[in-house]
Amino acid sequence: MKARFAITALVALLIFCAGYAALFIAPDEATMHAIQRIFYFHVASWNAMFCAFFVAFCASVAYLVTGKRKWDALGVSGVEVGVMCCTIGLITGPLWARPVWGIWWTWDAKLTSTFILWLLFIAYLLLRGLVEDPEKKASLSAVFAIFASLDIPLVYLANRLWRTQHPQPVIAGGEGSGLDPTMSKVLLLCLFAVLCVMILVLVDRYRLELLRNEAAELRYEIESRGLDASNGQETPALQKGAQ
């Protein structure tokens, strides 16, 4: 418990430092000025989202291979946290685009792909809500998560072939690209800080899912014993439990 508190405090301090660095230490951008500072958290949230969805994909594969419930818990945690990061990215994007591009939204390859990604994983969460049987829920949502993950590169490729408006890669995009050294240091700090927040939330969500599973199992056990007891006979299992 103490260790968890210490880690949470450490991550809070880290994200505070990242926020301070993004607002006050990073140099002013030549054409976009203050609004460009949203970049440090916009890019960082996409980075965290990809990590979270990657965790979800690996956990889904692991669940189907091993059949252990903990992988299913990790899978749903990854998707939920990934959807959260995706939502942050989809909100900070238009906030940045409006003053810089002059529009809130454009149907460009990256925007469209992430929007579809968001819809796909919202559908995953809906699917989990609509399947009753826990075993079925776990295996079917794992199959869906794998299909959705396979679809991501295809969605991106299709949109890329079709139309794109996003800037060419700035950081490693060949000649003439590159960030100011201070900017890239701040970016790295922000990437790391947001990733740590994501992992912290993910681990907490995973613990919650395990506790929920345990609670559901206990409730099921109590209910099935209650049915036996109502027949007028106490089952050995109940007596054992009462001792």
Partner 1 sequence: MTTAKAAAIILAKELRLEFRTRELLTATVIFALVVVVLFSFAFDPTAAESRRYGPGLLWIAFLFAGSLMLNPSFAREQNNETLDALRMAPISGFAILLGKILANFIFMSLAELVLLPVFAVLYNLSLTGIVSRLILVLVLGTLGLTVTGTVFSAISAHARMRELLLPLLLLPLLTPLLIAAVESTTSLFAEQPALDRTWLAFLAGFDIVFLTASWLLCDHLLEE
Q: Rounded to an integer, what distance in angstroms lies between the CA atom of residue 8 and that of residue 74? A: 20
* Smallest distance, partner 1 to C-beta of residue 139, A: 5
Cα angle 181, 187, 189; round to 5: 110
Give me the helices (H) in 21-130, please: 39-66, 69-101, 109-130
- Locate 148 and state its tokens: 């959705």
* Smallest distance, partner 1 to C-beta of residue 111, A: 13
* Smallest distance, partner 1 to C-beta of residue 148, A: 7
* Smallest distance, partner 1 to C-beta of residue 47, A: 23
Q: Which is nearer to partner 1, 108 or 228 (CB)?
A: 108
* Smallest distance, partner 1 to C-beta of residue 87, A: 16
Q: In sequence order, what are the residues at sequence separation of 6 or more whose Cβ sits closer than 8 angstroms to the Cβ of residue 206?
A: 73, 74, 77
DSSP 209: H
Residues contributing to the site for partner 1 (CB under 8 A): 64, 112, 116, 119-120, 123, 126-127, 130-133, 136, 139-140, 142-144, 146-148, 150-151, 154-155, 157-159, 161-162
Q: In angstroms, what is the C-alpha Rg of the chain?
A: 23
Q: Which is nearer to partner 1, 19 or 134 (CB)?
A: 134
Residue 6 CB neighbours (<10 A) = 10
Q: Rounded to an integer, what distance in angstroms lies between the CA atom of residue 175 and that of residue 50? A: 27
Q: Which is nearer to partner 1, 62 or 203 (CB)?
A: 62
Q: Which is nearer to partner 1, 140 or 203 (CB)?
A: 140
CA 149 vs. chain centroid, Å, equals 13
Q: Which is nearer to partner 1, 38 or 140 (CB)?
A: 140
Q: Rounded to an integer, what distance in angstroms lies between the CA atom of residue 91 and that of residue 203? A: 24
Within 13 A of 219's CA, how many CA atoms are on the CB side?
6
* Smallest distance, partner 1 to C-beta of residue 129, A: 9
Q: Which is nearer to partner 1, 158 or 179 (CB)?
A: 158
